[in-house]
Structure 1
Amino acid sequence: MSTAAITKNSRYTLNNGRTIPITGFGVYQTPASKATTLVYEALKVGYRHIDSARIYQNEEESVAGIAQFLKEFPDVKREDIFYTTKIWNEEQGYETTKIAIESSLERAKDIQYIDLFLIHSSLTNKEKRLGTYKALQEAVATGKVKSIGVSNYGTHHLDELFAWEGLTIKPVVNQVELHPWLPRKDLQEYAKKHDFYLEAYTPLTQGQKFDDPELVAIAKKHGYSVVEVLLRWSYDQGFIPLAKTATVARIKPNFDVLDHVVLDAEDLKILDKPDSYEVLTWDPTKYEG
């Protein structure tokens, strides 16, 4: 899909034929006590893509927000909403992953299935990574997990997966830290070559770049917020950004970015930093184990 044609309600078609909403709402660092409300409010605004993880300790609460919304808005069907969770490092390995998948499915029972299950990071070893992926492939066969993928994988981890003789289901995404200061051109090329999408976590830099002079100048030039500029940049790269906020009032402005925010060629040239490698969170993509 051309990024020029996208809207906030657009969906990309994954390599398995399923579709994913391009506007994602993440619940990283969201307390369980707030997750249900924030997810519900995000869905009310129009988000249809919720990204959780086992290590976030808010799977059950995120699912409750989805279930509550579906109950109150029957015109929206379960298949309209895309729910993601992830296998944490300590749970990797074939047998332990099977147990973890069942645990996540139990927490998701009120929404029947999980749309996307990811390996959360590469920080284990080859045997555990491939064992985890084997268990995820088997979960797809049950119909209770619809798509699988990876997160925080570097090109060498992807090489390991694609060279594995047991690979029968290609990853549909690799979720990594992405923003103008960490564009990961190598992973962009890899994703294009192997037909999967990059999901961008920390697309808003956790606020660490909000006072960057170039970013501020672009925002002032158009009358946008720096958040709007960062999200639009991410969409323009063909990424699926996962915006997160703990403030209900900020949910709608984040969701509405594609309605009115446009970056021109000069803006994109300024934000094009192909050689920048500024990690603002963690970087398992470089892990060699």
Structure 2
Amino acid sequence: MPEQLKLNDGSTIPQIGLGVWQVDPDITSQVVRWGIEAGYRLIDTAEGYRNEEGVGEAIRAAGVPRSELFITSKLRNGAHQRGAALRAFDDTMRKLGIDQIDLFLIHWPVPSQNKYVEAWKTLVELQKAGRIKSVGVSNFNQDHLERIIGETGVTPVVNQIELHPRFQQRDKRDFHKKHNIHIESWSPLGSGRLLSDPTLETLAKKHGKSVAQVIIRWHLQEGLIVIPKSIHQERIAGNFNVFDFELDANDMQTIRGLDSRDGRTGPDPATAAFLF
């Protein structure tokens, strides 16, 4: 079973979770129920995914106590002003059908609109009111992190960033470790582009596992939180079945060699300006 990692506010988070980015709202409830049946307890959604209602349906239908589930959602980019953020958060909670959310993140800093500090102050306000258990961010670079910490004195528990074997973001690791901010990997399989990588295929054959399982195991052994996504029941279960093997030092070094400065598949947080 996955390890529970301790966050800098004293809470804990499962190290592996189920992501629902790009999961059609019509099937989200079924996908999340499959995930919970497979053993996932961390479910990661966002206002921008437009499938929070499906996650809420799955929570109610799962037959698992709410206290055993760790639910994450994210503030949309167009709602960084305090009033808009409060309304957006209320909408998230209504769709999820829960009284308190375990983790709420600012989805992107959108530095061009210069409102992410206001958004962060609003999340901290909601945490103090007891509506959010833990507060964090997503896609924040070091300068964004330094600013919100400096202006509020509150350090995010998590920064969810694109991270996979071809884009390992090692230049960010020291800062996060120094401030006790856990890194959570989105697109952990490289948006599927790594599943046919010959180096990873060789490692998968060595361990009798799939390439996806090898990659997920790598994230876990790197101390990262990982949220793989699939809409297929057997793959959802397979992605969770990574606790019966271990990558050795040579395997880890081999995967380290796949890192590329040009490995990013998603937007650059320094320039991303889309609103949703």
Q: TM-score range by the shorter chain?
A: over 0.9
Counterpart check, 1:190 vs 2:175: yes
Secondary structure, in 3 states, of the residue corresponding to 1:160? Answer: helix
Equivalent of 1:172, from 157, 174, 180? Answer: 157
Residues 115-153 of structure 1 deviation map (CA, whole Å, 9 limit, x = unaligned):
111000122447410010111011111211111110001
Q: In 2, distance between residues paired with 1:174 and 1:274?
A: 23
Q: CA deviation at 1:9?
A: 3.2
Listed as ranges, the gaps of 5+ residues in structure 1 are 1-7
Question: Which residue number in structure 2 is paired with residue 287 of structure 1?
Answer: 271
Cα distance, 1:188 vs. partner?
Answer: 1.2
Paired with 2:142 and 2:155, the residues of 1 have a C-alpha distance of 15
Identify the residue that residue 27 of structure 2 maps to in structure 1. Answer: 34
Residues 82-123 of structure 1 show CA distances to partners (whole Å, capped at 9, x for unaligned) of: 0000011111122211111111122223x3221111000122
Q: Please state whether the residue corresponding to 1:207 is helix, strand or coil.
A: coil
CA separation in 2, counterparts of 1:107 and 1:195? 31
State the distance in 1 between where 2:241 and 2:113 align.
Answer: 41
Does structure 1 retain, via aligned residues, the 8 Å contact 2:148–2:154?
Answer: no
Separation in 2, partners of 1:243, 1:199 = 11
2:201 & 2:11 partners in 1: Cα distance? 38
- Alignment pair present for 1:66 and 2:59: yes
Distance 1:283 1:236 in 2: 26
Contact 2:213/2:241, CA 8 A, preserved across alignment: no
**What SS does the aligned partner of 1:146 have?**
strand
User: Residue 42 of structure 2 corresponds to which residue in structure 1?
Assistant: 49
Q: RMSD between aligned alpha carbons?
A: 1.7
Match of 1:123 in 2: 110
Residue 163 and residue 210 in structure 1: after superposition, are their counterparts in 2 closer, same or farther (change >3 A)? same
User: Which whole-Å CA distance do the structure 2 matches of 1:249 and 1:282 have between them?
Assistant: 30
Alignment correspondent of 2:252: 268
Extract unaligned runs of 5+ from structure 2: none
State the alpha-carbon separation in 1 of the partners of residues 177 and 199 from structure 2.
Answer: 29
Asked if residue 87 in structure 1 is aligned to residue 75 in structure 2, the reply is: yes
Match of 2:221 among 212, 224, 236: 236
Q: CA deviation at 1:274?
A: 8.4
Distance in 2 (alpha carbons) for counterparts of 1:253 and 1:91: 36
Q: 1:182–1:276: 8 Å Cα contact kept in structure 2? A: yes
- Between the aligned partners of 1:221 and 1:105, the Cα distance in structure 2 is 45
Partner of 1:78: 66
Does 1:148 pair with 2:132? no
Structure 2: distance between partners of 1:57 and 1:288 = 20
TM-score by length of 2: 0.94
Paired positions, count: 272
1:4 corresponds to: none
Q: Is the 8 A contact 1:25 1:42 kept in 2?
A: yes
Deviation of residue 192 (structure 1)?
Answer: 0.5
